[in-house]
Structure 1
Amino acid sequence: MPFNIGLSGLNAAQADLQTTGNNVSNSGTTGFKRSRAEFGDVFAQSFGGISQTAIGSGTRLQAVTQQFSQGRTEFTENGLDLAINGEGFFVLNDQGSTAYTRAGEFQVNRDGFLVNNQGQQLRGYPPQDANTADPNFNTGQLEDIRLQTGAAPPNATTDIEALVNLRSDAEVLGEEFALNDPESYNFSTSLTVYDSLGTSRDASIYFVKGDEDLKWTAHVGVDGEVYDPPYTLTFDGSGALDAVQRDPPEVTVAFDNGANPLEFEIDFGGTTQYGGDFAVNDLNQNGFASGRLTGVDIDDSGVVFARFTNGQSTVLGQVAMASFTNPQGLEQLGNNNWAETFAAGEPVFAAPGTGNLGSIQSGALEASNVDIAQELVNLITAQRNFQANAQTISAADQVTQTIINIR
């Protein structure tokens, strides 16, 4: 019996040494969670025995449990590196199976999917409308996140906003308006608009003082041609815009490059007629040309944006995260991956930062939570335990040898 007790202690100390050694070897592994060897005593008692005088039978390894404490955040220069600040796991598509990880070292494969070093694809929620400021994601559907690597489509101009001040003391011109005759209009301003193919066009707005003090006409020209009828702007006695009249209310421009006819409206809201100089306070439009992909951004809520050379961005999806009731019950798969088990509970999928899930830090990685100083102390303790149990076996051997030598 003393030999078995000492042997169980040797096995326990060896398991402790191996667990600590594994922690040390993974101190530089991204997203690694340190393990702890947990032991229980072995106590056997026969029916009717006296527990007060019974002696235990040694120890045994009960479990090696992982400690899911937060690792420190290390910042990188790669925008596709993701770190989780708080609870939760990234969801991976492993050739049809689902795996979970805390390691956020992602890159783009040849097909445009976000993958880790094992080629497992990062999963997320697709946007319902990628071209809106608030795309709203389909949180009931998990898909592999894929980057748009082609050119972003252009957008034809449909609205122009013009906020100007027209001098109240401008003179009334007696000449009929002509685009190429500066003497036929009082003021002008210009901007760039875009047709349905993304071709830039030069647009100009010409202001002509009317015969009445509080009325102006605004003519529109695109690529050197004027498109009538003009707008009639009427102001009140305080210089504020009172009414805008035009029939029809849209400007329609046709081109010879195959693009759809360009139709846009001009919003003169906020235009004034004050005594100051002519001034353009705001002039913008909503069209843009096609663009090439320049980069990808991921915010702390996991929303993935593609940025293009035309200054636009497109929402590609939102990173999904999973939480478990008992993370220590997850099955380790290696390569920083875990699989769900009955002991871990059913996974709950949600967006980062919702519920008990942590947020995402782009351009950073979560380091291993191994504390080298603590592990070195554990190594010393486990080594001492091993030596002490070896001494137990040695002492038992000497006692047994002494009994054998009795004559």
Structure 2
Amino acid sequence: MISGLWNGISGLSAFERALSSQSNNVTNSNTIGHKSDRVSFADMMYQSGYGKGVNIQSVQKDFSQGGLKDTGNDLDVAIEGRGFFVVNDPLTGETFYTRAGNFKMGADGTLQTVDNKKIYGSSPALTNLVSSDGSTQFNSDYSVDISSKQISTSDYLESINAKATDYTKTAKDSGVSGSGFKDKDSKISDIQALITNYKEKLELFASDPNATSQASTSQQNQISYSTFLTDLQDTDDFVEVTVDGEKVRQYFDTDVQTTMNLFADKLSSVIGLTASVDATGLVTIDSLIPGKSFDIREAAINTSSPAITETISPSNGTGRAMLDDAREALKNALEAADAKLIEMTHTIPSSGAALGAIGELQLKLDSLGITEDVFGNLSIENGAIYAKDGDNKFLIGKLETVMFTNPNGLDPQGNNLYRATKEAGEMMNASNVNNLVGSSVELSNTNLGEGLVDLMVYQRAFEASSKSITTSDEFLKTAIQLKK
């Protein structure tokens, strides 16, 4: 009878705690990133074959995947797979871990939880900065968008952005006749061709960023008119050559040297070419576009045909050196038009920084020293954080996730946070075992159907335990009455 009382009391205690645990699951069924509690029961010691009741053996978190919900919010991110986000409390310096990815931008521009704790990750390195005037950020002077490309490999993430000042307003005629003279319109046309070439090379590089780096070469042709210069004597005489199917002709003007200088100037006005002539009548034609081939044929002075020699053959190049050559050619052309170029390359290892080196993530572009604008349109793509400003898209950070040998050993703190313990085991980088889904959150993994069924079972078990107590009490009363 006493055992019956004890068994009933243990049942009341165990099922009251089980009801509390399961009701917590149910009430958090809409909590972002919530992991439900799983209750395990165990029978208590036996004596002479009689059990002594029930006890709660453990209450463990169920870290199974919750469903994902598309929120449309730029800073929301869900973990699909194992792992936790790293959270730092700026007030205490404590580190916590969470699955809840409903983030926001704090007043200081950092990525934060809804209760103002800092989200940790890795920040990019400015691995390459090319600037015509020493500028270190995009400012209002750079009004011409050149390119923006995001590159992802197994080794690194990278964004390459380039802008220029308005070359159409600064370009003007310059140079010496016969020695690379360029008029304003030719300079503008050259720059536009070089921008196209740069974009093409950037696309080619992005398609195979790990290709062997090999420099480009620019085509050079020479035509020796020296033997036939005496044929240039009156206004009906001419010097000419065909470039990509278009005939370039200059009639005799003033004297032989003036005529040859004007001929070289006409060749320099062909898009992507520059030409010069020396006193002997040797015309040198250089391509301004690395790797681009030009068809040069049918050189003539009147009916005479001088020889054409390709002194340097064009080579497209490969890898990063190819891209560097395309950008350098564009930069030179812009500077020749009194314009400026700036190109920024930001890089983060795909595996992220070492966990000991991660820190807060700044989202404001001006604080990062990238642009004068404070904000860009933010997005998170598989953990990589991008800020778009106009047509430029900058890599500004990467979320890092960690996992533990025994996640059930983590200590729940409330507010969707967990604290590491010895029981949780070793902390490891989880980048390779999950997928981070932008503009989404992970829902609670509570199963409402099972939860409600368990609540009813625990309720009935609680009632049954109370019945065993009242029954045992009646037995005791009867025994006492018999003794009297």
- TM superposition score category, shorter chain reference: 0.5 to 0.7
Q: Name the residue aligned to 1:369.
A: 445
Q: Which amino acid aligns with 1:219?
A: S
Q: Which amino acid aligns with 1:307?
A: K
Which one of 391, 396, 402 corresponds to residue 472 of structure 2? 396
Residues 134 and 154 of structure 1, relative CA distance in 2, 3 Å threshold: closer
Whole-angstrom distance in 2 between the partners of 1:73 and 1:361? 9
**1:44 positional shift:** 4.9
Residues 231 and 333 of structure 1, relative CA distance in 2, 3 Å threshold: farther
Matched, 1:339 2:334: no
Which one of 318, 328, 332 corresponds to residue 408 of structure 2? 328
Q: How many positions carry a matched residue from both structures? A: 307
Matched, 1:235 2:295: yes
Q: Which amino acid aligns with 1:90?
A: F
Residues 106 and 128 of structure 1, relative CA distance in 2, 3 Å threshold: same
Whole-angstrom distance in 1 between the partners of 2:476 and 2:10? 19
Whole-angstrom distance in 1 between the partners of 2:72 and 2:114? 17
Matched-pair contact (CA < 8 Å) for 1:126–1:137: no
Whole-angstrom distance in 1 between the partners of 2:341 and 2:68? 51
Which one of 377, 390, 402 corresponds to residue 295 of structure 1? 377
Higher relative contact order (CA 8 A, sep 6+): 2
**1:64 positional shift:** 1.0
Q: Which amino acid aligns with 1:7?
A: I
Matched-pair contact (CA < 8 Å) for 1:42–1:58: yes
**1:2 positional shift:** 2.0
CA-to-aligned-CA distance 1:123-142 (integer Å, 9 cap, x gap)? 11122336685599999xxx
Residues 32 and 189 of structure 1, relative CA distance in 2, 3 Å threshold: same
Whole-angstrom distance in 1 between the partners of 2:36 and 2:64? 9
Q: Name the residue aligned to 1:219.
A: 269
**1:118 positional shift:** 1.3
Whole-angstrom distance in 2 between the partners of 1:323 and 1:373? 29
**1:393 positional shift:** 0.5
Residues 178 and 19 of structure 1, relative CA distance in 2, 3 Å threshold: closer
Unmatched tracts of structure 2, length 5 or more: 129-148, 166-180, 196-237, 249-266, 277-283, 288-293, 299-308, 314-328, 343-369
Matched-pair contact (CA < 8 Å) for 1:126–1:138: no
Q: Name the residue aligned to 1:268.
A: none
Q: Name the residue aligned to 1:42.
A: 44
Identity among equivalent positions (%) equals 30
**1:212 positional shift:** 2.3
Whole-angstrom distance in 2 between the partners of 1:210 and 1:393? 118
1:80-99 equivalences under 5 Å are 80-95=75-90, 96-99=93-96
Please state whether the residue corresponding to 2:241 is helix, strand or coil.
Answer: coil
Q: Which has the larger helix fraction?
A: 2
CA-to-aligned-CA distance 1:158-180 (integer Å, 9 cap, x gap)? xxxxxxxxxxxxxxxxxxx9958
Whole-angstrom distance in 1 between the partners of 2:386 and 2:405? 31
Whole-angstrom distance in 2 between the partners of 1:120 and 1:137? 31
What root-mean-square deviation, in Å, do the aligned CA atoms of Structure 1 and Structure 2 show?
Answer: 4.0
Residues 105 and 191 of structure 1, relative CA distance in 2, 3 Å threshold: same
CA-to-aligned-CA distance 1:310-347 (integer Å, 9 cap, x gap)? x1121111110001111111100100000111111121
Whole-angstrom distance in 1 between the partners of 2:122 and 2:153? 10
Matched-pair contact (CA < 8 Å) for 1:26–1:32: yes
Residues 350 and 10 of structure 1, relative CA distance in 2, 3 Å threshold: closer
Q: Which amino acid aligns with 1:115?
A: Q
Residues 130 and 71 of structure 1, relative CA distance in 2, 3 Å threshold: farther
Matched-pair contact (CA < 8 Å) for 2:83–2:430: no
Residues 338 and 220 of structure 1, relative CA distance in 2, 3 Å threshold: farther
Whole-angstrom distance in 2 between the partners of 1:138 and 1:10? 57
Matched, 1:129 2:120: no
Q: Which amino acid aligns with 1:235?
A: D
